[in-house]
Amino acid sequence: MSTAALGHLVGYRLPEGTFTITEHDNRLLSEAVETAAPDDGVAHPAFAYVATQRGVGIGIDEVFRLAECPMDDGPMLGSTDLEFAEPLRIGVAYRVRGEIVDIRRKQGARIGTFDVLTIQEELVDERDVAVAVIRNEFILPRRQD
């Protein structure tokens, strides 16, 4: 299997979904990353990652499966680019939309052949404003190639 064989994935629009950050979610995430959850209605900014991953209408494991990389192969996050128009808020029902924007074959000294899968997602509020845009590059090991 080569990147060319997966090229059809570029431009694939992930099924849309929604995500509402609850106070419970915010406390759980804040505890997991060793910080306090302030009581001001603002969610931890890492929710740009969490809310897009959970809210979009397809699981991240299924996205990796589309790219022929099951979870057992150890896909990993390689880079993240977050942009915020404003802070994320608890209780807002964000629409989540996303797209596979690139997949590229590479070689690394440590892990050998791998693909870089780039996904861009947005959290869109009730005014139709994309309040957060996230672009993630995932490293997909290709150990058998």
Partner 1 sequence: MEMEIPGDLGPWVVDAVRPDNMRLLAQALADPNPIHLDRDAVRQLGLGDRLINQGPANFAYVLNMLRDAVPGAEIRGLRVRLLSNVFEGERVEAAGKVVSVDEDGDERRVECQVWLDAEGGRRAIEGTATLVSAPG
CA gap 122, 49 in Å, rounded: 10
Any contact of residue 22 with partner 1 (CB under 8 A)?
no
Any contact of residue 129 with partner 1 (CB under 8 A)?
no
- In this structure, are strands 93-108 and 76-84 parallel, antiparallel, or unpaired? unpaired
Which is nearer to partner 1, 61 or 145 (by Cβ)?
61
Say if residue 143 is exposed, middle or buried (CB neighbours under 10 Å; 0-12, 13-18, 19+): exposed
Pick the binder of partner 1 from 23, 31, 62, 145 (CB under 8 A).
Answer: 31
Pick the binder of partner 1 from 29, 63, 123, 131 (CB under 8 A).
Answer: 29
Which is nearer to partner 1, 5 or 85 (by Cβ)?
85
Contacts with partner 1 in 38-77 (CB under 8 A)? 44-46, 49-50, 53-54, 59-61, 71-77
Rounded least distance, CB 141 to partner 1, Å:
8
Say if residue 48 is exposed, middle or buried (CB neighbours under 10 Å; 0-12, 13-18, 19+): buried
Any contact of residue 86 with partner 1 (CB under 8 A)?
yes
Residue matched to tokens 């942009």? 83
Binding site for partner 1 (CB under 8 A): 25, 28-29, 31-35, 44-46, 49-50, 53-54, 59-61, 71-87, 141
